[in-house]
Amino acid sequence: MSYTIHEVAEKMGISTYSIRYYHEYGMLPFVQRDAHNNRVFEDSDLEWLNIIVCLRATGMSVERIKHYLDLAQDGADTVPERYEMMKEQQAQTLQEIQNLQQHLATINFKVAHYAKLMENHEPDSFLPSDLQRKTAVNQ
């Protein structure tokens, strides 16, 4: 199936500007153009774009993604390097998840704190040092 850049942007949840950038940067090497010079995307292009979006969302630089995609085009000999790149990204993403879980614990504590204040019609006498102490106890 073929898609326009606007259809791809809507389907992938990213801007047409980003798609154009990735294409011009050489990260979508198989995208074709129609008789009017408009980009025409196939399902395989969306697969490439999906990995770009995934890696960007998990913090990988555009340069590093480009390197990864270049390696993918170079074939089977690059599998070990691609594997190491994905292992590094996996570790970084797991660390980010852990950090977000810690942030969520803080937010959950604050939500419970404010709910209790509203339920009991109490003033807020909370001090930031209380949060550090209670968060440390809950971990």
Domain positions in the chain: 1-74, 93-139
Spatial distance between the Cα atoms of 57 and 112, rounded to a whole number of angstroms: 30
Q: Is the pLDDT reported for residue 22 higher than 80?
A: yes
Instruction: Find where tokens 């395989």 sit.
Output: 44
Strand order in the sheet with 39-42: 2-3, 39-42, 32-33
CATH architecture of 1-74: Orthogonal Bundle (1.10)
Q: Is the pLDDT reported for residue 117 higher than 90?
A: yes
Higher pLDDT, 128 or 103: 103
Q: Are 25 and 62 in contact (CB under 8 A)?
A: yes
Q: Give residue 126's pLDDT band: very low, low, confident or very high (50, 70, 90).
A: confident
Q: Could you read off the pLDDT of 54-107 as tens digits, one per residue? A: 999 999 999 999 999 999 999 999 999 999 999 999 999 999 999 999 999 999
pLDDT at 135 (0 to 100): 58
